[in-house]
């Protein structure tokens, strides 16, 4: 929610898969659709954030070409608000957020 994407970047804000649908290709299908839609709009980069406590999602994104990067948009002050909020709502395993990008050829 804090990302100010540059003109040729598309940022995915939320992807969620119901537990009973996980492992059935739904996430891969959504990522393929997002990549194609972004590419068709002229984007050269697709970015997203994943919670460090979600290793399955992180592995999926890496398989689909996303690379962990330093978040160029991260406001240090935002962490002071986001960290405690996420901890209170979801627990410590979700406190760290990983920024990832995928170049669109």
Tell whether the torsion through CA atoms of 17, 90, 58 and 47 is positive or negative.
Answer: positive
> Between 3.10.350.10, 3.40.630.30, 3.30.70.20, 3.40.50.150, what CATH number should domain 9-103 receive?
3.40.630.30
Query: What is this structure's pTM?
Result: 0.76
pLDDT in tens, 8-26: 999 998 888 999 999 999 9
pLDDT reported for residue 100: 95
- Which range among 10-14, 23-27, 30-34, 89-93 shows the weakest confidence by mean pLDDT? 89-93
**29 Cα distance to chain centroid:** 15
In 1-105, at which residue ranges do the beta strands (DSSP E only) sit?
A: 9-11, 45-51, 67-68, 97-103
Residue 61 has pLDDT above 50, yes or no: yes
φ and ψ at residue 91, rounded to 5 degrees: 100, 165
Written as six digits, the tokens of 1 are 């929610």
Domain edges within the chain:
9-103
């Amino acid at each position: 929610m804090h990302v100010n994407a540059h003109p040729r970047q598309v940022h995915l804000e939320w992807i969620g898969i119901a537990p009973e649908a996980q492992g059935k290709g739904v996430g891969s299908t959504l990522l393929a659709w997002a990549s194609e839609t972004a590419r068709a709009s002229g984007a050269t980069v697709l970015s997203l954030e994943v919670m460090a406590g979600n290793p399955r999602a992180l592995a999926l994104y890496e398989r689909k070409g996303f690379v962990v990067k330093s978040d160029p948009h991260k406001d240090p002050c935002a962490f002071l608000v986001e960290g405690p909020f996420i901890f209170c709502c979801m627990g410590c395993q979700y406190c760290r957020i990983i920024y990832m990008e995928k170049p669109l050829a």
